[in-house]
């Protein structure tokens, strides 16, 4: 299967604004790229690329006064199969976890483990550890939170989402991540593309998606408490402790997002990729 994906973003500003962008597909998917999602800026500005401490590809720019248009259009190869399930994957004792997984046990800006520790063990402490318990956390979060874009709030934390029972995909992911960390399961936040491939088309504009990865059985595995099903065609952009680490753009000055468009579509055999 081939998937065409990309974005068009327009930012307006009255003055030059330094920005960090996190829009490129993650390096782990580079071998699958048939056409790279090269960032183009109009007007053209210098693109200073680097890799952050979590292994994400980032670009620094200075958006000029008057605004800037950012766009990319890539093509990627995908297996066309739903994400696999590893029902017998086990949790690891904390003392045997890899060093680089330990940071994903700690509380973070949006995932307050201290506030949710008691609830996590009350709700899930008696369940058998392993894949089934992680899935049980996702099942609970999926049922507990009502989805709605009008519930979005950039400051909303996992504990607030738990109490309010409303949110968007990042809130589902934050709450599940916080619960899993309380249970001593390393969990990290992921962002990327997730099109309506193999599922009914959503009656809403396409957006970037948020999900999580949990460390079980010696590997990181994808879980998606918002959709709560194994999906086809997920394309990773970035990973981090929570959404604060993987913002698509971070601006250091006043600006306005004037246009936001994302696409993720299967390319049929008879359709030429543009």
Domain membership flag for residue 234? yes
- Report how far residue 94's alpha carbon sits from residue 106's, in angstroms, rounded to the nearest whole number: 12
**CATH number of the domain that 72 lies in?**
2.60.40.2250
With CA atoms as reference, report the closest residue to 124 among 187, 182, 211: 182
> What pLDDT does 270 receive?
52
Q: What percent of the chain stands above pLDDT 90?
A: 95
Residue 274 has pLDDT above 60, yes or no: no
- For 135, phi and psi rounded to 5 degrees? -65, -35
Domain membership flag for residue 274? no
Contacts 24+ apart (CB under 8 A), 125-129: 125/183, 129/90, 129/91, 129/183
Q: Where in the sequence is the domain holding 18, given as residue range(s)?
A: 2-80+248-266
**CATH number of the domain that 177 lies in?**
3.10.620.30
Helical H segments across the chain, by residue range: 113-124, 131-144, 158-164, 169-182
- Report how far residue 246's alpha carbon sits from residue 244's, in angstroms, rounded to the nearest whole number: 6
Domain membership flag for residue 128? yes
Number of domains comprising the chain: 2
> What pLDDT does 271 receive?
53
> What pLDDT does 268 receive?
80
Same domain, 65 and 180: no
Bigger pLDDT: 45 or 200?
45
Same domain, 241 and 252: no
SS3 186: coil
> What pLDDT does 82 receive?
96
- Across all residues in the chain, what is the average pLDDT? 95
> What pLDDT does 202 receive?
81
Same domain, 110 and 139: yes
Exposure pattern of 37-66 as b/e (b: 16+ CB <10 Å)? bebebeeebeeeeeeeebebbbbebebeee
Domain membership flag for residue 87? no
- Asked whether the CA dihedral 98, 100, 106, 110 is positive or negative, the reply is negative
- Report how far residue 195's alpha carbon sits from residue 151's, in angstroms, rounded to the nearest whole number: 22
Same domain, 135 and 62: no
- Report how far residue 77's alpha carbon sits from residue 52's, in angstroms, rounded to the nearest whole number: 25
pLDDT digits (tens, 9 = 90+) for 146-199: 999 999 999 999 999 999 999 999 999 999 999 999 999 999 999 999 999 999
Across 77-81, 160-164, 202-206, least confident range: 202-206
Same domain, 129 and 43: no
Same domain, 101 and 189: yes
Same domain, 69 and 98: no
Same domain, 240 and 254: no
Residue 222 has pLDDT above 90, yes or no: yes
> What pLDDT does 269 receive?
63
The pair of structure tokens assigned to 10 is: 């327009």
Same domain, 150 and 221: yes
Same domain, 116 and 189: yes
Same domain, 216 and 165: yes
> What pLDDT does 185 receive?
98
pLDDT digits (tens, 9 = 90+) for 235-272: 999 999 999 999 999 999 999 999 999 999 999 865 55
> What pLDDT does 272 receive?
52
Domain membership flag for residue 85? no
Domain membership flag for residue 49? yes
Confidence of residue 53 (pLDDT cuts 50, 70, 90): very high
Confidence of residue 206 (pLDDT cuts 50, 70, 90): confident
For the segment 19-48, the average pLDDT, to the nearest whole number, is 97
Domain membership flag for residue 200? yes
Residue 34 has pLDDT above 80, yes or no: yes
- Report how far residue 236's alpha carbon sits from residue 207's, in angstroms, rounded to the nearest whole number: 13
């Amino acid at each position: 299967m081939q998937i065409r994906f990309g974005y068009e973003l327009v930012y307006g500003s009255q003055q030059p604004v330094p920005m960090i962008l996190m829009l490129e597909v993650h390096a782990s998917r580079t071998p699958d790229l048939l056409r790279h999602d090269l960032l183009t800026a109009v007007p053209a500005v210098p693109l200073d690329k680097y890799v952050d401490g979590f292994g994400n590809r980032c670009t620094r720019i200075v958006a000029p006064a008057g605004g800037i248009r950012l766009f990319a259009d890539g093509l990627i190869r995908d297996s066309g199969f739903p994400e696999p399930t590893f029902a017998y994957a086990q949790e690891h004792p904390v003392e045997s976890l890899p060093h680089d997984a330990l940071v994903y046990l700690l509380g973070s800006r949006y995932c307050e483990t201290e506030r949710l520790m008691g609830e996590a063990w009350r709700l899930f402490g008696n369940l058998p550890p392993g894949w089934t318990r992680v899935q049980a956390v996702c099942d609970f979060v999926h049922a507990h939170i009502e989805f709605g874009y009008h519930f979005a709030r950039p400051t909303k934390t996992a504990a607030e989402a738990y109490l309010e029972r409303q949110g968007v995909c990042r809130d589902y992911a934050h709450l599940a991540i916080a619960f899993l960390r309380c249970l001593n399961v390393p969990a990290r936040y992921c962002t990327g593309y997730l099109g309506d491939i193999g599922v009914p088309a959503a009656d809403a504009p396409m957006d970037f998606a948020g999900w999580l990865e949990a460390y079980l059985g010696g590997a990181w595995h994808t879980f998606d408490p918002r959709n709560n099903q194994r999906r086809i065609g997920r394309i990773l952009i970035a990973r981090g402790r929570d959404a604060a680490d993987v913002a698509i753009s971070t601006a250091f000055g006043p600006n306005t997002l004037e246009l936001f468009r994302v696409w993720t579509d299967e390319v049929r055999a008879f359709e030429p990729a543009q």
